[in-house]
């Protein structure tokens, strides 16, 4: 570790009001002579390192000699009165880790915290030794600061605490999550992201229903690691698992809110953006919990204790893993950025603007990886953008391989055991300019595989069994990366296992799950880009007048989509899909020279209301798969920011930018109940039961992509100055 840690420059910029670069450490008030330290070791080198960190990050508040100032003293009577007498060094470590320095908590590494603690210990009378103080919370938990006898408060040396009651720990009794259990989970559990592997996201519980939902009240809540949060909890055998900002996972007693264990990953301090990647889901399998981390690792935790079982390098991801038949399947988004090249002479004229614009998001491509669930060994790799020699390379308008990008996989996959197929959706490309006009070379298309597609794959090998491209040559960032619901539909008098998915345009496509054959579409009428859908193939014809380029254009929906990643819910009995959508449009304006563009087509964009807008942007859209129709079930002013949850109790739950979490009647759309949360609900709601009692839960945490995208449309809705994050669990009285 260097003399001046790299985090300091960033930290000072974030919290200059509280911190300061101060002079040399002054001598602190000596600890009382009667003070008896436990056997705690740290080194002089750690103390010197601690001084450097302290001067840059702590002295401005706590004083140059730890004597106190704007914040409490870290030495002498004041400090010992706070920490001595039964408080562990682990508690001190955790306090510094989670709250310091102000404005950038979590930016200190474990070694840096240990060095600060070494300085504090020396300033309070402990002498350094030969062994370093470990930067390990579990080890430090075993060391306590005894009462000095010379400060007020604290625990007496003569005190003998009576045994305290042990809280119940349902994690210790959890049954292993088998493939059979994943395929047919208990109605009380929420075992995978959308409860079941078919992605339907529906709760069969009926205790909370239309007649009593108005009495719903808060059962418990818990403050998670502060920051953006888009996670959906998992529940198994009375244990709730929730992911939060800065790679923290909490296992909680689902009925009481008592924390059973916490896992917090140490992220590289050199990249402050890493912990800001929101994570959407985790996966339970066997006795392990699987998750992707901000430093691009795939981690398996012991679900009973939170201990790391294994970790493996994987790549950047925000959608969580799917685990099936002993294989962990994880999708990645694009991993690098590069401006389009001007050197290639085959680039069509429409790509010249792209070369000049230095597209912000071009470069890198999505991949799908398979790992062995037992050991974490890599099994297979699939490139969403075909590489040299792979099928589909002729679909990129002869664009050089170095300039083909996109196809991010940023939501989870889904699985059907009868077909032994995993279904995964892919995103768009941002290097759109070179695809606008087909070059006319025989055998070459500008469809850009496998953008905006459904991929059907074998879980153990990664073999691509079939694919279907929902939107060829997507020039507008209109992804089809979202959930793939596996449903039984009657088509031409025969029940057909089908894949149902909705793109940003709000158009629903249904496919044969076994073959990928197109079945039908439902256009909800929320878009103006697609002018025709072929009834036999589903091929979509776009309005050529709306291609982004040298003139201002208005398309609907906006780049955030009518539909986005916040997932829908499917009622299989009535064959109804409930989908959260936001109604808006997008103005695309050509960029100025030297300006950067979100697409290589060379445009800047901004959100605007639809021409026919009534000011209600957030809707729950109903798709009737039996009658192949669509309509708005419920509408509100606030844009939708959470997924929706439909239940067998005749309810659909959803959350909006105004911090309201609400329940609507699935038949009439009437608002039946609403609660104002402390922050913006931004995950997907779930329902579960413990000991015969049903609960509804949702995670809140402003700062995700959707919670910020629609702010210009609703200037009257205040947003949090500082993003918090909590989980809220509701129950009947």
Placement of tokens 């940023």 in the chain: 410
- Using the predicted structure, report yes or no on whether residue 407 has a pLDDT greater than 60: yes
Element (H, E) at 268: none
Average confidence (pLDDT) over 452-463: 98
* Sheet with 288-292: strands ordered across: 283-285, 288-292, 297-302, 308-313
pLDDT at residue 166, as a whole number = 84
159 or 691, higher pLDDT:
691
pTM of the entire predicted model: 0.82
- Residue 202 and residue 643: Cα distance in Å, rounded? 12
Task: For residues 164-178, give the mean pLDDT.
Answer: 93
Kindly provide the b/e burial profile for residues 513-535, where b requires at least 16 CB atoms within 10 angstroms of the residue's own CB. bbebbbbbbbebebbbbbeebee
* Residues 482, 501 contacting (CB under 8 angstroms): yes
Question: Quick one: tokens of 535?
Answer: 């009834």
Residue range 210-217: mean pLDDT, rounded? 98
Question: Can you tell me the distance from the alpha carbon of 469 to that of 467, in angstroms, rounded to the nearest whole number?
Answer: 7
Q: Which domains does the chain have, with CATH numbers?
A: 7-145 (1.10.760.10), 173-731 (2.140.10.10)
- Structure confidence at residue 359 (pLDDT): 57
Asked if 5 and 269 count as a contact pair (C-beta separation under 8 A), the reply is yes
- Residue-wise pLDDT tens digits, 286-345: 999 999 998 889 999 999 999 999 999 998 888 899 999 999 999 998 643 333 333 333
What pLDDT is stored for residue 200 in this prediction? 98
Q: Count CB neighbours of 313 within 10 A.
A: 10
DSSP assignment letter at 341: P
Question: Is pLDDT of 281 > 70?
Answer: yes
pLDDT at 3: 32
Give the closest residue to 388 by CA, choosing from 376, 380, 396.
396
Q: How far, in Å, are 18, 59, 65, 108 from residue 99 at the CA level?
A: 13, 16, 21, 10
CA dihedral (127, 133, 139, 140) in degrees, to 10, reads 60
pLDDT > 90 fraction of the chain, expressed in percent and rounded? 68
User: In angstroms, rounded to a whole number, what is the distance separating the alpha carbons of residues 291 and 276?
Assistant: 15
Supply 483's token pair: 């959930």
Question: C-alpha distances in angstroms, 282 versus 129, 299, 546?
Answer: 43, 10, 39
Q: Report the alpha-carbon distance of residue 586 to residue 468 in Å, rounded.
A: 27
Q: What number of other Cβ atoms are within 10 A of residue 345's Cβ? A: 5
Peptide bond into 489 cis (omega under 30): no
Cα 276 to Cα 50, 227, 241: the distances in Å are 27, 7, 20
Cis peptide before 101 (omega within 30 of 0): yes
Least confident of 197-211, 255-269, 375-389, 478-492: 255-269
**Band of the pLDDT at 612, cuts 50, 70, 90?**
very high
Q: Report d(CA 481, CA 450) in Å as an integer.
A: 11
Q: 380: how many CB neighbours lie within 10 A of its CB?
A: 17
Q: Residue 162: how many CB atoms within 10 A of its CB? A: 4
**Location of structure tokens 């691009």:** 296
Give the model's pLDDT for residue 202. 98
| pLDDT value for 708 | 82
Q: How confident is the model at residue 99 (pLDDT cuts 50, 70, 90)?
A: confident
Question: For position 336, what pLDDT does the model report?
Answer: 38
pLDDT of residue 39: 66
The H-assigned helical ranges of 628-700 are: none
Q: What mean pLDDT value characterizes the chain?
A: 87
Q: How far apart are CA 125 and CA 147, in angstroms?
A: 14
Residue 702 has what pLDDT? 86
């Amino acid at each position: 570790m260097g003399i001046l840690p790299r985090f300091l420059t960033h930290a000072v910029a974030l919290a200059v009001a509280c911190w300061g670069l101060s002079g040399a450490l002054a001598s602190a008030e000596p600890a009382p002579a009667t003070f008896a330290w436990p056997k705690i070791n740290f080194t002089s080198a750690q103390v010197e390192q601690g001084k450097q960190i302290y001067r840059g990050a702590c002295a401005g508040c706590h004083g140059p000699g730890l004597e106190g100032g704007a914040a409490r003293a870290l030495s002498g009577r004041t400090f010992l009165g706070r920490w001595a007498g039964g408080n562990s060094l682990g508690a001190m470590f955790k306090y510094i880790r989670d709250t310091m320095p102000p404005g950038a908590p979590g930016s200190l590494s474990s070694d840096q915290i240990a060095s600060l603690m070494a300085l504090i210990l020396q300033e309070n009378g402990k002498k350094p030794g030969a062994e370093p103080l470990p930067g390990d919370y579990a080890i430090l938990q075993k060391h306590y600061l005894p009462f000095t006898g010379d400060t007020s408060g604290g625990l007496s040396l003569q005190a003998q605490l009576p045994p305290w009651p042990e809280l119940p720990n349902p994690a210790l009794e959890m049954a292993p999550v088998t493939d059979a259990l994943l395929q047919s989970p208990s109605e009380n559990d929420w075992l995978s992201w959308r409860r079941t592997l078919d992605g339907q996201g529906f709760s069969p519980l009926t205790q909370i229903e239309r007649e009593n939902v108005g009495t719903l009240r808060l059962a418990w809540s818990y403050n998670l690691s502060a920051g953006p949060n888009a996670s959906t909890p998992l529940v198994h055998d009375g244990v709730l698992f929730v992911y939060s900002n800065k790679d923290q996972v909490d296992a909680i007693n689902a009925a009481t809110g008592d924390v059973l264990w916490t896992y917090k990953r140490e992220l590289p301090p050199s990249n402050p953006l890493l912990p800001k990647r929101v994570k959407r889901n985790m996966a339970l399998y066997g006795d392990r919990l699987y998750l992707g981390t901000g430093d691009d690792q795939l981690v398996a935790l012991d679900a009973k204790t939170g201990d790391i079982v294994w970790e493996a390098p994987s790549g950047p991801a925000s959608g969580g893993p799917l685990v099936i038949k002993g294989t962990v399947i994880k999708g990645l988004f694009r991993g690098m950025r590069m401006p389009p090249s001007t050197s290639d002479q085959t680039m069509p004229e429409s790509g010249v603007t792209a070369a000049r614009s230095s597209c912000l998001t071009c470069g890198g491509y999505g991949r799908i990886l398979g790992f062995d669930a037992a050991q974490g060994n890599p099994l297979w790799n699939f490139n969403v953008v075909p590489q040299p020699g792979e099928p589909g390379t002729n679909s990129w308008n002869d664009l050089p391989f170095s300039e083909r990008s996109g196809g991010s996989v940023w939501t989870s996959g889904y699985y059907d055991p009868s077909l032994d197929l995993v279904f995964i959706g892919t995103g768009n490309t941002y290097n759109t300019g070179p695809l606008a006009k087909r070059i006319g070379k025989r055998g070459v298309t500008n469809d850009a595989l496998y953008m905006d597609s459904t991929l059907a794959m074998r879980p153990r090998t990664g073999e691509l069994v079939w694919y279907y491209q929902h939107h060829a040559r997507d020039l507008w960032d209109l992804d089809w990366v979202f959930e793939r619901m596996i449903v039984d539909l009657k088509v031409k008098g025969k029940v057909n296992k089908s894949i149902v998915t909705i793109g940003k345009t709000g158009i629903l496509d249904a496919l044969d799950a076994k073959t990928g054959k197109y079945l039908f579409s439902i256009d909800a009428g929320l878009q103006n880009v697609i002018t025709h859908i072929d009834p036999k193939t589903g091929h979509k014809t776009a309005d050529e007048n709306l291609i982004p380029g040298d003139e201002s254009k208005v398309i609907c929906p906006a780049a955030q989509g009518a539909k986005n990643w916040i997932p829908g819910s499917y009622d299989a009995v009535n064959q109804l899909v409930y989908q959260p959508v936001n109604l808006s449009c997008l103005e695309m304006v050509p960029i100025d020279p030297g300006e950067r563009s979100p697409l290589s087509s060379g445009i800047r964009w901004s959100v605007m209301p639809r021409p026919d807008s009534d000011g209600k942007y957030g809707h729950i859209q109903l798709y009737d798969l039996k009658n192949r129709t669509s309509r708005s079930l419920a509408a509100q002013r606030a844009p939708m920011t959470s997924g929706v949850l439909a239940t067998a109790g005749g309810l659909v739950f959803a959350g909006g930018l105004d911090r309201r979490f609400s329940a609507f009647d699935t038949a009439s759309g009437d608002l039946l109940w609403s609660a104002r949360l402390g922050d913006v609900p931004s995950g997907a709601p779930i329902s579960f039961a413990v000991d015969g009692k049903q609960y509804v839960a949702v995670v809140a945490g402003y700062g995700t992509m959707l919670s910020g995208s629609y702010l210009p449309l609703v200037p009257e809705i205040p947003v949090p100055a500082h993003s918090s994050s909590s989980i809220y669990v509701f129950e009947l009285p």
